[in-house]
Structure 1
Amino acid sequence: MSPKLWTNRLSVWHGIVHGVNGLLVGRSVELAGLSRVLQSAAGGVAGVALVGGDAGIGKSRLAAELVAEARERGFNVLVGQCAELGDALPYLPLADALRSAEQAVRDAAAAHPMLGQLLPGSESAPAAGLTQQRLFGSLLGLLADVQPVLFVIEDLHWADRSTRDLLVFLSRMVQSERVCVVGTYRTDDLHRRHPLRPVLAELKRLPAVMSVELGPLAPEALADYVVTLGDVDPQSLGLIVSRAEGNPFYAEELFAAVAEGEILPDGLASLLMSRVEVLSEAGQAVLRAAAVAGRRVEDELLREVSGLPLAEFEEAVREILSRGLLRVDGRGYAFRHALLQEAVYTDLLPGERTRLHAAFARLLTSPAELAHHHLAGHDLAGALAASVEAGRAAERIGAPAEAHRHYDRALGLWERVADPGSLTGESYEKLAFRSAVMAADSGDNHRAVAQLRALPQTSEVSERLAYYLAEVDDSAEELAAAERAVDSATTTCELARALATYARCLLWSSRHHEVEAYCTRALETARAAGARDAEASAMLTLAIFLEVRGDMARAHELVHAAAEESSGDLAIDLRARYQHARIHYEQGYLSAAAETADDGIKLAAGNGLKWSTYGTDLRFLRFLIHYAAGEWDQAETVAAGFGARVGTPHEALLSSVALFVEVGRDLPAVGNRLDLLRPFWDDELTEYMSRGMAAEHALWHGDPATALEHVRAAMARPAEGEAVLVRLAAVALWALAELGTTEGADELLQHARFAVTVGPTGDGGHVGPEGRAWALRAEAEWHRVHGRLDVELWRRVVEAFDFGFVYETARARWRLAEALFAAGDRAAALAEWELAREAAARLRAAPLEKALLQFGRRARFGVPTDDGALPSGLTARENEVLKLVAEGLTNREIAERLFIAQKTVSVHVSNILGKLRVSTRTQAAATARRHGLLG
């Protein structure tokens, strides 16, 4: 090669790898869109961008430009790349990103044990349950710790299942954090059944996700780009632009070929291989070995596999680097583009490929990579052993989908290998059982059930089968499997777990009366065996059983005992704290409920489980406790932590929680939130809550007909006996009273009575104080529908809610005040009205305050009217004078303050004393305070 061509060649490859003179040609619109997402993240509105396009179209170049901009803005940058090994390497881009991150980020990651074990030299932590959820939560915590952050995941089309799940999690969970997540993927690799397709479809529906599709560069833009690569004559430029068809990578390769005076072959693959074929024999051998390793390879490993002497190897690598086929990447090398690696790998002869895979397998230690290379090298015994070990490793780091895949691969090889039990250290049945458990942990309960059904029905297998069948609502088979687990148990531990699961399956069945006996037996067996997890599970099941039976003292004892000591299983420990807090809450012990919920929330957050099922449920419960206790500002803060995004039924349920305070305060967000929730009204609990609150919102705005529509639609769903009917029935009766009709009132009252008398189990189960209070309110509202304001009944409603439920107590006092006033007891009505006003003002419950003021005006309780006059007869000026009298000012001081004559003040004071029916200024001030005349 001539010196001129050599120099030109080096400058071309340097420009391609590092960004040509800092220029990005033809992608200004796309970069501007990504920059807006980054800017929003800098301002505290997290965002996600998905960048798709054909191979070589410029996705990585665009991402690199965004990375540079992020660094200039002071972002911490994490960049990870998926590998073509696919599911063999779970969380590879996350591990990749953490390992190459700044030291401060790596130090922060090490503080999160689940992330720290992805760093080099870290040991996998012992499993304590919910491993994947802990890992996801830990990453969310890390991103919050080191924000602002740009996290780029490249080549999502090769992502493993766990990485895809992680992307979905981040896309939904990052909201107010200063975080930007960017993923790139090849559109030409996404065949019809590609697993990334449904993920992309789901994510692109989210409002925070921006989709960027890179198409071919326009001829003019591609020509501009080629010119930046170096000197090129017009004829060659036209040839490159026409042949490249808008693909920058193809254009780069064509330019390099033209620069060396080569004949241009047809097709990109042929062109790429023409670049390889000019290498020396040693250079080609090294590049082929690198292609078998994948996109990246360590220097020492590549040298060993190539089999070349050190000097010859280093000379070959220098040659490859000089031609831009590989680039230096840390302690090893990486292909400049995945297309080049694919072209070299595809060109290998079958035997050559097998021998190179086998060579890598002899040198590697990673089980996942070993399994891949053993299988590709046709070493089935090695692939079996490595697959099992890779499954165990994936299980430890919280990648159940990959663990299941590895175990399933091993099961597929089982019959093709001599003495597989010795190779793996376990039996086929045990391995199949582990595979089923991992399938369930990754969310595929149906697959788990199918695998367990195919196994010999030992106690362990039957117990898990029953557990998973309960999740898929197959009650008949679940009971049979649970009973089989009990009957076939051979150890006390097996029996304890089987009994605990059997009791749990019985809890909501027609045989629920057997629960206590099985729980008692499970507790005795678990304690004898030291099986703390089975003991805690049985305690919780028995506590719920006793709760619905009304034996609250024993229920409290059991949930307290279950929550006191760790079971060794985080799922059970969080479940125990949730149930403990819930029972306290439902029995009206709000302070104890808050303390227990806070303890559970702390446990969840400390283990990265803030967004796990029970982590979310605990915060959901904490909101209700704040709401009931009248701590509405704190409740709003908790609800804000759930975010405002509504893309799944779970997110809709969380979002609907915020309506309690938003409706109570008549905030502008109500209408928009109801619009977001409307598509999710096919979910039972979401419809109950959101339509119930929509009804109250309509009532506060004088639209009882719409309120009634909402309630009747929600009540049409459940069977009788659902406790939620009580509140809905009471709200519907409120609407009927406002409409002035009795139609349907008796039926609504019967619904409410049935729900509290029949109970959750349908045979007279226990109903908590809030349920009983709502039932009393339904009775009182029924009387109001019929034109009767029953003082004693409304007094009972007040007393029933007054266990700490501040808002409902205030609403009940409002109705009690109306009833007392109608009965002629003005003084008692005023007292209740004042208490209700004080609570409404403290809560900033605007609709209730307005209703109380309207009633106060009608009752002439000293509330200003629209024209400034007072029901007591005071004029606006007299009211001003009264306020200054209450401050202790003399007539002269009042005259000076109001710029009126002292004699005029004396007349006003005399009028005030007469109208208030008092004889002294002190009595006037006291009366004004009592009647709320001082504002």
Structure 2
Amino acid sequence: MQVLDSAAEGVAGVALVGGDAGIGKTRLVTELAARAKERGFNVLVGQCAELGDSLPYLPLADALRGAEPAVRAAATAHPLLGQLLPGAESQPSAGLTQQRLFGSLLGLLAELQPVLFVIEDLHWADRSTRDLLVFLSRMVQNERVCVVGTYRTDDLHRRHPLRSVLAELKRLPTVMNVELGPLGTGEMSDYVATLGEVDAQGLGLIVTRADGNPFYAEELFAAMAEGDALPDGLASLLMSRVEVLSEAGQRVLRAAAVAGRRVEDDLLREVSGLPLAEFEEAVREIVSRGLLRVKGHGYAFRHALLQEAVYTDLLPGERTRLHTAFARLLTSPAELAHHYLAGHDLAGALRASIEAGRAAERIGAPAEAHSHYDRALGLWERVDDAERLAGESRAGLAFRSAVMASDSGDNHRAVVQLRALPPTSEVSERLAYYLYETKDQEGAIAAAERAVESAEDQVALARALATHARTLLWSSRHQEVEPLAERALATARAAGVRDAEVSALVSLASFVELRGDIDRAHALLDAACAGRTGDLAMDLRARFNHARIHYEQGLLTRAAEVADDGILMAFETGLKWSTYGTDLRFLRFLIHYAAGEWDQAESMAAGFGARVGTVPEAILSSFALFIEVGRDLSAVEGRLALLRPFWSDPLAVYMSRALAAEHALWHGDPATALDHVLAVLAVVDEDDVGMLRPIAIGLWALAELGTTEGADDLRALAHATLKAGPAGEGGYVGPEGRAWELRVEAEWHRVHGRLDVPLWRRVVETFDVASVYEAARGRWRLAEALLAAGDREAAQAEWELARETAGKLRAVPLENALLEFGRRARFGGGGSGGGAGDAGLTAREVEVLRLVAEGLTNREIAQRLFIAQKTVSVHVSNILGKLTVSTRTQAAAAARRRGLLE
């Protein structure tokens, strides 16, 4: 109930319920579902089946089929979810199908909230369902959503694929693990008493034999009630209850066991071969004895253990004949493949496996598609006329299997399969693409060159050229990119290959941007973003790059427009959490941050990585530190603690430790700040202009420490970075990069005791385009330099502008630093005090003071201003000190006298 309670309060949760077969997992989640319905939850319940990877997303499809009509209607509004419902037509693929399906489900759950989603029998889950469980466990955070999964612990052998998933999920702080153990003697006695009348001797026998397992106890009770002898072992006991059925009843039950946990009525009747009246009488007998239950238009075994016992008891020939009978009647390719294989019909299994693979592709289950295709490839040499049955060559099928392997995240398997194929242009182009994704640049370039050389037509040539240009972009041969991309562009346009055209446009735009031809880069990306290609990954890549180049130029309004367009596309197609969907939202956060829209940035940051279990999640979480450090929010220390285990990854180190250094500086710990900076510089590439920011922070730390040791090394590293990067080849460095370059130089002079007014003024002017906050920080140093130079009036003017910005941003550390500087300089209140006069109050403190004067408590003020109660307490203490009073009442009176409440 704990995760259900949390979900009701808006904190999503996941519970994993494990235990031996029959221990009571289903009974527990059934009770949970009943209570959830009473509390107004939408309840979705789906079950995995013991068909291996044959039926992708079976529990999700099961849950949607069995849901309320309103829920099914809501699901059909999401095209990819609608495909899982009966009678739905498959939609043409636009790429990233699995990510779109996952995103669509997340959107549906948000619409339905509060919602309980139960997935039973995870030990039988297909790979895609396991991936879906991981996705939901990491992504649902502030929604009123509760996800519960059950699994058998006694089925999890050492190499079971669910083991690694459980280990990963159990590390997440919001995942609850529940292990159900055997009932004690007293608990079992109480439970058996609820089943019906039983004498003391019978009760003792059941309790002793059941060994704490409720299902075993139920079967013992039922056998005893029917007057049967009690055999040893659960399987024997279950079969003893089957053997008392009539011959027709046993025949029907055996057929049902071959079908699986559930079977439709008409299908079971056909396979049983009984006349209608005899069949119905047999089913009535089975149901009356509690072996099958009516479910929808068919029947389900009361427990999976019973189905397994009956199936295991079948004779080999009997089992084969029944599987063959089902194969003749079924239409689902995945089920057909399962029954054909079990019935030793290899030709049927090959044909059905390929159809099942194609069906899995259409619904976004690449792992299952790959598995089906590989099964067909394994049967190929054992089947006569396999190419005719398959409708394609073995090489074509192997190629599609490799593509599905990559789509499921296994690029290594994809590369192995492609290397085993004849090196056609299509094969070489995909190999180049996957090698590039796995950071094998030399291998990618070689494969792309083979793709170009072996292109058999203009379509293949266009894609090969575009991929070749992309592989060279960040290599030592990058000067070859422009002619290659130009050729790819011309070829793609002539052949009408829009995806290759956009790929070439993006690569060419990136190249000319680095060379400094920004106008041409914009024109190229405008063309790339005009309309859609049908390849969603390519479309989002184009929009991300277009927004990025505007952002890096300081064109924040246009950057926001382009990013919003890309984000809208990602949301509409269910790709909010895809790579580029996520990158676009990161970029949008940075645009808000740079433009001084910090409330919007803080709102976005609330969804960034509350759960940190992987490197990508750590990087996501690190973004929130920009706003949390800038506002000195209480979440900083907790977030840094979550991120610390991931400080072996270069990008996670760069993001989080650079901001941890700023946090340490704001809190008077320059030595720790310097340690963080040196850790960052040890992992970041020397040619990355992003190095300039941590270098500037390191010099700030040295200035605070009062030492010049290491300052010259940091400055030299900044110069080497600029020389090794784009600027060293006459390329383009945007306003922010130039501003940090100037800031490094100004901080280096400050370390040596020189406050260079012209230099700090250039820092401010350059940051004015790129970052409202950094411009304000530059004004703080400019004010110090002006005061030191004797220009008090100009110093106060810059100080007041900085205070105004800090107040609007609620940048508490900067506000406090400016206040301290103003005290030392004996400046007046300035424009940001809102009438604070010589009290020295910040804009935020004036806001708090006005609410104190209204009689509000700290908690009420925190709710009114959407800040932490602890932060309010700090503000109140500062106010009392600045007004030299000791109580809130005295503060209110002083505020009225000074006109601060006007």
Q: What TM-score do you get using the length of structure 1 for normalisation?
A: 0.89
Matches within 5 A, 1:571-650: 571-650=537-616
Q: 1:400 aligns with which of 359, 366, 381?
A: 366
Stretch moving more, 43-52 or 800-809: 800-809
Equivalent position amino acid for 2:741 in 1: A
Q: 1:242 aligns with which of 208, 224, 227?
A: 208
Q: 1:199 aligns with which of 165, 169, 172?
A: 165
Query: Which consecutive aligned stretches of 4+ in structure 1 deviate over 6 angstroms post-superposition?
Result: 870-874, 931-935
Does residue 818 in structure 1 map to residue 796 in structure 2? Answer: no
Aligned equivalents of 2:609, 2:481: Cα separation in 1: 39
CA contact (8 A) 1:861 1:871 kept: no
Partner of 1:470: 436
Partner of 1:322: 288
Q: Deviations over 1:379-414 (max 9, x none)?
A: 111100000000000000000000000000000011
CA contact (8 A) 1:860 1:872 kept: no
Partner of 2:231: 265
CA contact (8 A) 1:860 1:871 kept: no
Does residue 682 in structure 1 map to residue 648 in structure 2? Answer: yes
Structure 1 residues 873, 60: CA separation in 2 closer, same or farther (over 3 Å shift)? closer
Aligned to 1:642, the other structure's residue is in SS state: coil
User: Residue 754 of structure 1: CA displacement?
Assistant: 2.2
Does residue 277 in structure 1 map to residue 243 in structure 2? Answer: yes
Equivalent position amino acid for 1:551 in 2: D
Partner of 1:115: 81
Structure 1 residues 780, 139: CA separation in 2 closer, same or farther (over 3 Å shift)? same
Partner of 1:160: 126
Aligned equivalents of 2:674, 2:494: Cα separation in 1: 57
Matches within 5 A, 1:737-776: 737-760=703-726, 763-776=729-742
CA contact (8 A) 1:489 1:498 kept: yes
Q: Deviations over 1:253-272 (max 9, x none)?
A: 11111112211111100110
Aligned equivalents of 1:358, 1:796: Cα separation in 2: 81
CA contact (8 A) 1:759 1:766 kept: no
Partner of 1:700: 666
Equivalent position amino acid for 1:421 in 2: E
**Aligned pairs, number:** 841
Aligned equivalents of 2:650, 2:731: Cα separation in 1: 22
Aligned equivalents of 1:561, 1:637: Cα separation in 2: 33
Partner of 1:177: 143
Partner of 2:316: 350
CA contact (8 A) 1:508 1:761 kept: no
CA contact (8 A) 2:465 2:487 kept: yes
Partner of 2:868: none
Q: 2:57 aligns with which of 76, 84, 91?
A: 91
Aligned equivalents of 1:311, 1:757: Cα separation in 2: 89
Partner of 1:28: none
CA contact (8 A) 1:90 1:399 kept: yes
Partner of 2:751: 785
Partner of 1:288: 254
Does residue 716 in structure 1 map to residue 682 in structure 2? Answer: yes
User: Residue 235 of structure 1: CA displacement?
Assistant: 0.7
Aligned equivalents of 2:597, 2:821: Cα separation in 1: 26
Equivalent position amino acid for 2:382 in 1: R
Does residue 446 in structure 1 map to residue 430 in structure 2? Answer: no
Does residue 372 in structure 1 map to residue 338 in structure 2? Answer: yes
Aligned equivalents of 1:574, 1:158: Cα separation in 2: 35
Partner of 1:139: 105
Partner of 1:361: 327
Aligned equivalents of 1:137, 1:689: Cα separation in 2: 26
CA contact (8 A) 2:415 2:434 kept: yes
Q: 1:54 aligns with which of 15, 20, 23?
A: 20
Aligned to 2:606, the other structure's residue is in SS state: helix
Which has the higher Rg, Structure 1 or Structure 2?
1
Q: 1:461 aligns with which of 410, 427, 437?
A: 427
CA contact (8 A) 1:853 1:863 kept: no
Q: Deviations over 1:162-221 (max 9, x none)?
A: 000000000000000000000000000000000000000000000010000011110111
Q: What TM-score do you get using the length of structure 2 for normalisation?
A: 0.92
Q: Deviations over 1:34-82 (max 9, x none)?
A: x011010000000000000000111000010100110011000000000
Aligned to 1:88, the other structure's residue is in SS state: coil
User: Residue 871 of structure 1: CA displacement?
Assistant: 11
Percent of paired sites with the same residue? 78
CA contact (8 A) 1:756 1:772 kept: no
User: Residue 547 of structure 1: CA displacement?
Assistant: 1.1
CA contact (8 A) 2:346 2:379 kept: yes
CA contact (8 A) 1:644 1:655 kept: yes
Q: Deviations over 1:561-603 (max 9, x none)?
A: 1111211100000001100000100011000000000010000
Aligned equivalents of 1:90, 1:783: Cα separation in 2: 63
User: Residue 932 of structure 1: CA displacement?
Assistant: 13
User: Residue 641 of structure 1: CA displacement?
Assistant: 2.3
Aligned equivalents of 1:281, 1:127: Cα separation in 2: 50
Stretch moving more, 173-182 or 641-650: 641-650
Partner of 2:399: 433
Aligned equivalents of 2:357, 2:350: Cα separation in 1: 11
Does residue 497 in structure 1 map to residue 463 in structure 2? Answer: yes
Aligned equivalents of 1:349, 1:755: Cα separation in 2: 74
CA contact (8 A) 2:605 2:623 kept: yes
Q: 1:673 aligns with which of 617, 620, 639?
A: 639
Aligned equivalents of 2:182, 2:287: Cα separation in 1: 28
Matches within 5 A, 1:824-843: 824-843=790-809
User: Residue 86 of structure 1: CA displacement?
Assistant: 2.0
Aligned to 1:184, the other structure's residue is in SS state: strand
Structure 1 residues 688, 236: CA separation in 2 closer, same or farther (over 3 Å shift)? same
Aligned equivalents of 1:828, 1:164: Cα separation in 2: 64
Aligned equivalents of 2:683, 2:21: Cα separation in 1: 51
Partner of 1:340: 306
Structure 1 residues 197, 762: CA separation in 2 closer, same or farther (over 3 Å shift)? farther
Equivalent position amino acid for 1:372 in 2: H
Partner of 1:568: 534
Aligned equivalents of 2:494, 2:484: Cα separation in 1: 15
Equivalent position amino acid for 1:656 in 2: S
Q: 2:182 aligns with which of 203, 216, 222?
A: 216
Structure 1's unaligned 5+ residue stretches are 1-34, 865-869, 875-879, 881-930
CA contact (8 A) 2:727 2:733 kept: no
Stretch moving more, 714-723 or 376-385: 714-723
Aligned to 2:53, the other structure's residue is in SS state: helix
Partner of 1:420: 386
Does residue 36 in structure 1 map to residue 18 in structure 2? Answer: no
User: Residue 761 of structure 1: CA displacement?
Assistant: 8.8
